[in-house]
Chain A
Amino acid sequence: MGDDGELVDRLRAGDEAAFVVLVDKYHAPMVRFAATFVPSRAVAEEVAQEAWLGVVRGIAKFEGRSSLRTWLFSIVANCGRRAGTREHRETPVDIRDGPVVPEERFGRHGEWTSPPVPWADDAVERIAAGQVLGRLKECFAALPEAQRQAVLLRDLEGLPSAEVCGVLGITEGNLRVLLHRGRARIRNMAEVELGRS
């Protein structure tokens, strides 16, 4: 936020160089987030572009109560929702509850009968380096929209939960359900991948 405060002031004053610095810093994550609302990368670029227009027009009113990054994501979310509707995308709210580890892995007393396969000590390095990372990315991309948005903002972008809730317009309880399901799916997939190697 420190650096951004100065950039915000300069952008308010119409400083093009500040705009370019912000684009270099935030456009790629904005497109990635926009892509969770619309069907293609091309449309996501348009959404991010529209969001930048919102930023330039709205910067005078930005009060700095959230970080600039969170404010940018909120604008992308608004533009993304509108675009998603235009593209006739279904946006089912997927806040179901239910076990994230299949029931058949537990015995009669709720104890593991098929426990997690232990990972090797260097699992993280192997995952990060190899094709497992590619599979993790695919798994992330295949999450239902609401789970993908939650995991993206909380775990990939590292936003505080309260700010994620603000951007997505959901409660902390709903955010936890979405994270719980999304993260479990990705871990389950990693377990399968690493069990093979």
Chain B
Amino acid sequence: MWIRRRAIVCRQAVELVTAYLEDALSTRDRIRFESHLAACPHCSEYLDQMRQTLSIIGRIEPEALEPEARTELVALYRRWQED
């Protein structure tokens, strides 16, 4: 990764948030990221907000199936079965 060996700064930490949440950081980078978080309330807040945002968008439901669409699909299914 592009991180230098010394401690990371906030600007770098926010760019690592996704790799961290996706568990894609090397052990060394994860330790460095977590030590930064331990010392930085702002980046911890950023990570928390990201987690909350993901939990909210995970609850967005698709628009419900319309009865007409269902009827139409069943009709199509019967036609496909006949083919």
Contact = CB atoms under 8 A, between A and B. Distances in A.
Nearest to A99: B15
Given A16-B78, A28-B64, A119-B52, A180 B70 contact: no
B74 A16 contact: yes
15 contacts: A20-B70, A28-B63, A32-B62, A52-B73, A53-B80, A99-B11, A106-B11, A110-B10, A111-B10, A136-B60, A140-B60, A184-B17, A187-B46, A187-B50, A190-B53
Interface in B47-83: 49-50, 52-65, 69-70, 72-74, 76-78, 80-81
Nearest to B43: A112
B31 interface: no
| Residues of B contacting A: mostly | helix
B11 A110 contact: yes
Interface of B: 9-12, 14-15, 17-19, 22, 24, 42-43, 45-46, 49-50, 52-65, 69-70, 72-74, 76-78, 80-81
Interface of A: 14, 16, 19-20, 23-24, 27-29, 31-32, 45, 49, 52-53, 56-57, 99-101, 103, 106, 109-112, 115-116, 118-119, 123-124, 127-128, 133, 136-137, 140, 151, 155-156, 158, 161, 172, 176, 179-180, 183-184, 186-187, 190-191
B72 to A, nearest CB: 8
B14 A128 contact: no
Contacts of B43: 112
A10 B69 CA distance: 22
Given A116-B46, A119-B49, A27 B65 contact: yes
